[in-house]
Amino acid sequence: MKKIFKNKFVLIVSVIVIIIFLGYLISKFLPSFGLKYGLYPSLESDKTQRGVTNEEIYTYNLGTNFAIVSNTESTLKLIKKGSVEINVEKGKFYESLNRIMLLVNQFNGNLISSQIYKEEDKSSGNITIMIPSKDFDNFITKLNDYGEIKNITTSTNDVSQEYYDSAGRLKVLESQRELLLSWLKDAKEIKDMLSIRSELEKIETEIESIKGRMNYIDYHSNYSEISIYLNEDVEKISWWKKSEFLNRLIDGLLYALNSILSSVLALIIFIAFILPWALLGYFIYILITKYLKRKQNPQ
């Protein structure tokens, strides 16, 4: 009797061990086996059925403002800006300005604003343009052909994180909007309708704000802003012209020289005026002298 009981106990323990071992094998190998032979849907097909692409996975909870965005093929969003100061030859300000505008057109750029100033015989001004970002460096290099570059300033702002965070937030808000619209359709009481509409307006306002910011980033990452300052060269003043004492001394010398020249000119004018009368007087004197000699010595 004891032997039979002992054999049954061993059999039960063996069965339990075998069941545990089989459970371990099933949990370890069956998932990969099932995915390999299509026993149940894979993660990729499940994502496809749920309308989520391989490039982007958005996880969100409509009850919170939490969003995680992962984009394996996202591109950098860089906003480039630059400013260039150029000196052009005196008298060639407008010619240089027109040539630069032709260059902007060649690069498929746009003029945003322009200001031109005129001070006595000197012209200056500045223009703000938008150039395709891919041509940013090439365009600034080309400006060397249009005058003397005095100063170049460039900056680059990486707004990729902001852009893709906004994209994720936009997805969340659009989903919330769809949910609220469905609630509004099913609402029975006016109080509920007004509450849902209020929340809906807030969400739509935020959606428009995010779209506006994303459009701004899209445009300014595709086109770069460049400010160009044009200055016309002026005549260089010698060091001695900057001294007040020397200026007064030179003015005095010039005044004395001018007085001498004026006196010489006046003398020349006087001689030119009196010379004909002197010649006429001398001629009359000769005639009278000859007449008197003939009268004293008649033949």
- The per-residue pLDDT for range 58-116, each reduced to its tens digit, is 333 333 333 333 343 458 899 999 999 999 888 888 898 999 999 999 999 999 999 99
Distances (CA, A) of 19 to 8, 11, 15, 226: 17, 12, 6, 75
Q: Check: CB of residue 55 under 8 Å from CB of residue 72.
A: yes
Q: Nearest-CA neighbor of 232 among 125, 113, 80? A: 125
3-state secondary structure 185-244: HHCCCHHHHHHHHHHHHHHHHHHHHHHHHHHHHHHHHHEEEEEEEEEECCCCCCHHHHCH
Give the chain's residues under pLDDT 50: 1-5, 27-73
Hey, how many other C-beta atoms are within 10 angstroms of the C-beta on 228? Answer: 22
- CA gap 69, 167 in Å, rounded: 8
Q: What is the pLDDT of residue 275?
A: 80
Q: What is the pLDDT of residue 63?
A: 34
Q: Output Rg (C-alpha) for the chain, integer angstroms.
A: 49
Q: What is the pLDDT of residue 72?
A: 34
H helices present in the chain, as ranges: 2-37, 43-49, 93-106, 136-142, 160-186, 190-222, 244-296
Structure tokens at 238: 């010698």
User: How much of the chain exceeds pLDDT 70, in percent?
Assistant: 70
Q: What is the pLDDT of residue 122?
A: 83
Q: Check: CB of residue 109 under 8 Å from CB of residue 138.
A: no
First to last CA, the chain: 210
- CA gap 42, 32 in Å, rounded: 10
Distances (CA, A) of 191 to 176, 185, 197: 20, 14, 10
pTM here?
A: 0.51
